[in-house]
Chain A
Amino acid sequence: MTTSQQQSRPELRERIREALESQRTDKERVPSITVLSSLLAVQDDLHYIPDEAIEETAIFCNATINDVWSVASFYTNFRFTPPGMTTVDVCWGPTCHLMGAQKVLDAVQDELGVDSEETSADGKITLRYSTCLGACAQAPVIARDHILSGRANPNSARQYISDLQQELENGIAH
């Protein structure tokens, strides 16, 4: 970690420190604080893990940069570039698969103009594939920022995405 890196984005660093600190101060009883819980706290706030967060987490947890990277690179929910305003998950678990998830996924990708787990060109919606969203009885399931929507088909999925785009256009979503 060089001095110039440390000074690069002071506001971001401050926000990361606040997110890390919130593990202590937001709770009635202080939970166990670990490298993993710290990275989760940062991602909850920033929706990604910038390089500065790796360094700040190492300092906060008295761990090495290597320790923190090893954890951050292991769990597949962590991402290292800023996502769009909203993240859409499409499930490919076996139930959703049998119920037609691939066609739903094709429709979503077509509507977003992407062909893998990436962000739409307007920077608004990031697509992710999920191994299971936990509502298999309503398969196929899609979700936006962890809010689930079931019984999807290609047409409803297209509608879902265009409604979402409209909503973001109007500035309602987070």
Chain B
Amino acid sequence: MVSRTEAPVDTYAEAMSQQTQYALLRARARQRWDDLTDGDKPWVRVGFGASGQAAGSQEVFDALKHYGPNGTQQINLSMVGAHGLMYLEPVVDVIVPRANRVFHANVTHEVVPDIMSHYIDGRDQHPLHASAYAYSGHADDYTSHLHDWDQLPPNQLQKKILTANFGDIDPHDIFQYIAQDGYSALNKAVLSMTPDEVLEEVKTSGLRGRGGAAFPTGLKWSFLAPSKAPVKYVLCNCEEGDPGAFNDKGILESDPHRLIEGLILNGYATNSTHGVVFIRQGHDIPIEATRRAIDEAYENGILGENILGSDFSFEMEVSLTGDSYVAGEETAMMEAIEGKRSTPRYKPPFPAQAGLFQKPTNINNVKTIAYVPSIVATSGDEFKKVGTESSSGTALVCLTGHIKRPGMYEVEMGVTIRQVLDDIGGGVADGSERIKVLQTGGPLGGVMGEEAFDTEIDFDAMAQSGAILGSGGIIVGDETTDVVDLIRNLVAFNQFESCGKCFPCRLGNTHMLDVLDRMCKNEAKPGDMQLLETVGNNMKIGSLCGHGQLGYNPISSAITYFGEEFEKRFNGELEKSGPFGDGSMILPSRTRP
């Protein structure tokens, strides 16, 4: 419940006149935003998240603390979420009072004093530091030589729905989210819409699951909604063990309240009582951001009893899993939340009938749920206008590897892979000649060669090309990439992560890895291609979940695009290939007991 005495006096009256708890929160949020942006102090924001931390943002932030709230009080300082343009990290973003916004890129902690003297000691006395990269707003005498942030190719081509707040708000401050209209969709839903109406909007939107299977979200929710069980769960899957994908964690560490709002709406639309956010242990930044956001939501009457003054009550918690990739499979995830080994269950019963703790349950990916506030705030029809006929909305793409501008970019469905690579990614990395191969959709996805780069980013078009969109990871390999070696890396992951429940997966992955090992050492045997295919098909038929069923995907797609590289393994004349061609690749290799 809101503590009404804490509200500023002038806005208190306004909020009371509107008679809603949300209006009061909005008033406080507006006050908070004005404090940060309207004063005489620059507001300095440092992009953080896992990627920012890896690039050195923590040291930069620590250096800035000297000027901040606990230092000399000369600036407002916030640690914000991931900047999608990760090649620029660490990014220091300065909102200059009564002027514009300046982005400093690839900042190191040593240059922080040089950067800050311009903003603090006088803009004419101290020139803008050379790390200044772009401005936003109007160009003035100080910034006219910089790039226009909004016109940078990676920004121009993005369509921001999930990432609208990324880099702009402190994920640890609920009022910054509310100041950006956060929780307005929830307020609208619980006070003026029935659960069925919310569900209808999600159905109309054409939203499909972003976890990999692309199942229509509204339809999935409609399996759960009719049940009258007193306890029903909606689960949010942020296991995200896919190497090369970090967009789920990106949402949690940059804008966790969007996920929380979406999950409450998921609960409201399906008449559920409990939400669980499922995250892998060890990813401390998204875990802490989510826990803190849930606490803030409880403190402000957004979770718990009678949400925002309505009749709807909903509880939420974070559940951590140990390291297990298969825990991302929906029934295995329920086993993990129950504290057991995360192996898949037989279906039926389906989760909507008997899921977590045998209660009716719905499971959705982080990205899927994070779209819901936008859908409810506007309408399903509005959302449907974005994207392609069969895949509405956007895709949150993680672009990594031999690419000039690695990062996390939100693009409208229907843009081509080539646009993402060339226009957003800037083409192949410096020092490389060309992009040879892409690995998409995680280790159970596939690879594609250049002839497929004109494929549209769309669930069905990607599936036809032999790769999958899956979780949105696109890993770029240049002309030096040895495809067999890359596939060996993926299969090694799949072998390591097989949960062991179904023997075709447990043993099949081990067989396939043996064969690929031989190929990388140029010791392939005549029947090896046939052996791979036989084993792969057996896994497809004989495994309970996608881990085994899709395990042959990387190999089959690689044969489609790079078949000749496999053939070359048999003539015995090739150099031993890849960084591990001498057989020295050191991998954890085991099957689970």
Is B455 positioned at the interface, with any CB of A under 8 Å from its CB? no
Q: Contact: B322 with A74, CB < 8 Å?
A: yes
Given contacts A36-B321, A74-B592, A95-B244, contact A134 B50 (CB under 8 A): yes
Our pick among A77, A94, A102, A103 for the contact of B322 (Cβ within 8 Å) is A77
**Chain A residues with CB under 8 A of B401:** 95, 98-99, 139
B338–A34 contact, CB under 8 A? yes
Minimum CB–CB distance for A68 against chain B, Å: 10
Q: Identify the closest chain B residue to A103 (Cβ).
A: B579
Interface core residue of A39, A71, A137 (most chain B CB under 10 Å): A137
CB of A163, distance to nearest CB on chain B (Å): 13
A133 and B282 alpha carbons, distance in the complex (Å): 9
Q: How far is the CB of A47 from the nearest CB of chain B, in Å?
A: 12
Confirm or deny: B349 has a beta carbon within 8 angstroms of a beta carbon on chain A: no
CA distance A26 to B298 in the complex (A): 17
Q: Which of A117-174 contact B (CB under 8 A)?
A: 117, 129, 131-139, 141, 146-151
Tell which of B53, B323, B400, B588 touches A136, judged by Cβ atoms closer than 8 Å: B400
Min C-beta distance of B498 to chain A, whole Å: 12
Q: Which of B55, B321, B481, B490 contacts A75 (CB 8 A)?
A: B321
Q: Does A83 contact B (CB under 8 A)?
A: no
Pick from A37, A91, A137: contact of B87, CB under 8 Å: A137
Q: Which residue, B241, B244, B325, has most C-beta atoms of chain A within 10 A?
A: B244
Does A40 interact with chain B (Cβ within 8 Å)?
yes
Q: Report the nearest B residue to A96, measured CB to CB.
A: B243
| Contact B489–A97 (Cβ < 8 Å) | yes
A94 and B443 contacting across the interface, CB-CB below 8 Å: yes
Residue contact B398 to A32, C-beta cutoff 8 Å: no
Q: Chain B's nearest CB lies how many Å from the CB of A134? A: 5
Q: List B contacts of A50 (CB < 8 A).
A: none
A134–B400 Cα gap in the complex (Å)?
11
B residues less than 8 Å from A37 (CB atoms): 319-320, 339
A115 vs B585: C-alpha distance in the bound complex, in angstroms? 11
Q: Which residues of B are found within 8 Å of A105, using beta-carbon distances?
A: 586
B54 touches A149 (CB 8 A): yes
* Docked complex Cα distance between A116 and B587 (Å): 9
Q: How far is the CA of A92 from the CA of B489 in the complex (A)?
A: 8
How distant is B47 from chain A, measured CB to nearest CB, in Å?
12
Interface residues of A in 66-82 (CB under 8 A from B): 70-71, 73-78
Is A11 interfacial (CB-CB < 8 Å)? no
Chain A's nearest CB lies how many Å from the CB of B518? 19
Smallest beta-carbon distance B152→chain A, Å:
16
Specify which of A31, A70, A91, A129 is in contact with B341 (CB 8 Å cutoff). Answer: A70
Within the complex, what minimum Cβ distance (angstroms) separates B337 from chain A?
7
Contacts of A39 in B (CB 8 A): 322
Contacts of B408 in A (CB 8 A): 137
A95 touches B321 (CB 8 A): no
**For residues 260 through 319 of chain B, which have their beta carbon under 8 Å from a beta carbon of chain A?**
276, 281-284, 295, 298, 315, 317-319
Q: What are the residues of chain B within 8 A of A70 when measuring CB–CB?
A: 340-341
Q: CA A174 – CA B402 in complex, angstroms?
A: 36
Set of chain A residues within 8 Å of B490, measured between Cβ atoms: 94
Contact B339 A28 (CB under 8 A): no
Tell me whether B407 and A132 are in contact (CB under 8 A): no
- Pairwise interchain contact B295-A98, C-beta atoms closer than 8 A: no
What's the Cα separation between A129 and B243 when bound, in Å? 13
Residue from A74, A109, A151 having most chain B Cβ neighbours under 10 A = A74
B241 — which chain A residues lie within 8 A by C-beta?
A: 131-132
A136 to B402, CA, bound (A): 11
Total cross-chain contacts (CB, 8 A)? 177
A93 touches B243 (CB 8 A): yes
Chain A residues positioned under 8 Å from B245 (CB to CB): 136
User: Does chain A have a CB within 8 A of B406?
Assistant: yes
> How many Å lie between the Cα of A97 and that of B499 in the bound state?
23
A97 touches B320 (CB 8 A): no
For A59, what are the chain B residues with a Cβ–Cβ distance below 8 Å? none
Residues of B within 8 A of A91 (CB): 243
| Contact between B593 and A136, CB atoms less than 8 A apart | no
**Which residue of the partner chain A has the closest CB to B407?**
A137
Q: Given the complex of chains A and B, what is the CA–CA distance between A98 and B341 in angstroms?
A: 32
Among A92, A116, A117, A132, the one with the most B-chain Cβ atoms within 10 Å of its Cβ is A132
**B-side contacts of A77, CB under 8 Å:** 281-282, 322-323
Contact indicator B489/A76 (Cβ below 8 Å): no
**Nearest Cβ distance between residue A83 and chain B, in whole angstroms?**
14
B447, closest chain A residue (CB): A94
Instruction: Report yes or no: B244 in contact with A93, Cβ–Cβ below 8 A.
Output: yes
Beta-carbon contact of B341 and A71 below 8 Å: yes
Contact of B593 among A40, A73, A92, A139 (CB under 8 A): A73
Bound Cα distance A115, B584 (Å): 11
Q: Does A9 contact B (CB under 8 A)?
A: no
Q: Is B329 engaged at the interface, CB distance under 8 Å to the other chain?
A: no
Of A100, A102, A131, chain B has the most CB atoms within 10 Å of the CB of A131
Indicate if the CB atoms of A94 and B489 lie closer than 8 Å: yes
Tell me which of B336, B339, B493 contacts A61 (CB under 8 A). Answer: B339
CA distance A80 to B592 in the complex (A): 16
The CA-CA distance from A40 to B56 in the complex, in Å, is 28
Q: For the complex, give the distance between the alpha carbons of A138 and B246 in Å.
A: 12
A35 interface contact, C-beta 8 A:
yes
A135 near B477 with CB under 8 A, answer no
The answer to whether B54 and A141 touch across the interface, beta carbons within 8 angstroms, is: yes
Q: Write out the residue numbers on chain B whose beta carbons fall within 8 Å of the beta carbon of A151.
A: 54-55
A72 to chain B, nearest CB (A): 9
B371 interface residue, CB < 8 Å from A?
no
Within 8 A of A (CB), among B51-74: 51, 53-56, 58
Kindly supply a per-residue 1/0 record for chain B positions 453-482, scoring 1 wherever the CB is within 8 Å of any chain A CB and 0 otherwise.
000000000000000000001010100010
Contact yes or no, B339 A136, CB < 8 A:
no
Q: Measured between C-beta atoms, what is the minimum distance from B19 to chain A in Å? A: 29
Chain A residues near B58 (CB, 8 Å)?
A: 147
- Contact yes or no, B244 A132, CB < 8 A: yes
Q: A31-B319, A36-B320, A73-B592 are in contact. List 15 more A-B contacts (CB 8 A).
A: A29-B298, A36-B321, A37-B320, A61-B339, A71-B340, A75-B323, A94-B443, A94-B486, A95-B475, A98-B477, A99-B401, A131-B493, A134-B246, A134-B283, A137-B400
The 6 closest A-B CB pairs, nearest first, are A34-B339, A75-B322, A93-B243, A150-B54, A137-B86, A135-B54
> Chain A interface (Cβ within 8 Å of chain B)?
28-29, 31-32, 34-40, 61, 70-71, 73-78, 91-100, 102-103, 105, 109, 115-117, 129, 131-139, 141, 146-151
Sample 8 A-B pairs with CB under 8 A, ordered by A number: A32-B317, A35-B339, A36-B322, A36-B340, A76-B324, A78-B322, A102-B580, A148-B54
